[in-house]
Amino acid sequence: MSTILDLHSHSEASEDSRAPVEAYLNWIKLRRQERPLDGIVLTEHRQFNRDADYRALEDKYGMLVLRASEVETDYGHMLVFGVNDDITRRFDFADVRLPAQQVIDEVAAMGGLVVPCHPGRPNVGLCEHYEKRPALDNVVAVLGLTDVDEPWAHVLAAR
């Protein structure tokens, strides 16, 4: 049995979204026949909301609501999954110039996973940085879109 998640969602807690979490879940529920998502991962910009509790919404909509973070590094934006106390003590997610290689390596050592996102976007995408600088070590996956007309459809491309 598989679980299908949108791995890169933002709520009103991020500056580039005005949508409450419940609005996302309602939208997904209404379109479940054509978009069979089982839930979302909230990857809020430069923060991790440890205290957010979405259990009531999960029960109401029958979907998962997981939490992660989107951080800004010297190689662009990256999603940090498996955020724990060790990771939040080690890294200041508000820092917009985190060293990407260090984040990738140390987060992995602390039980998390770092995945570069929107790789083709100018300035914040991994591809542009790879054109000018050496490739990063230990990148195990990159997040992208399956279809630009379906902004909900993120795909994880792994090696």
Dump pLDDT digits (tens) for 66-91.
Answer: 999 999 999 999 999 999 999 999 99
CATH superfamily of 5-158: Metal-dependent hydrolases (3.20.20.140)
Query: Is 3's pLDDT higher than 70?
Result: yes
The pTM score is 0.89
Average pLDDT over residues 33-55: 92
Give one DSSP letter per residue of 3-27, joined into a string: --EEEEE--TTSTT----HHHHHHH
Sketch the domain layout of the chain as residue ranges: 5-158
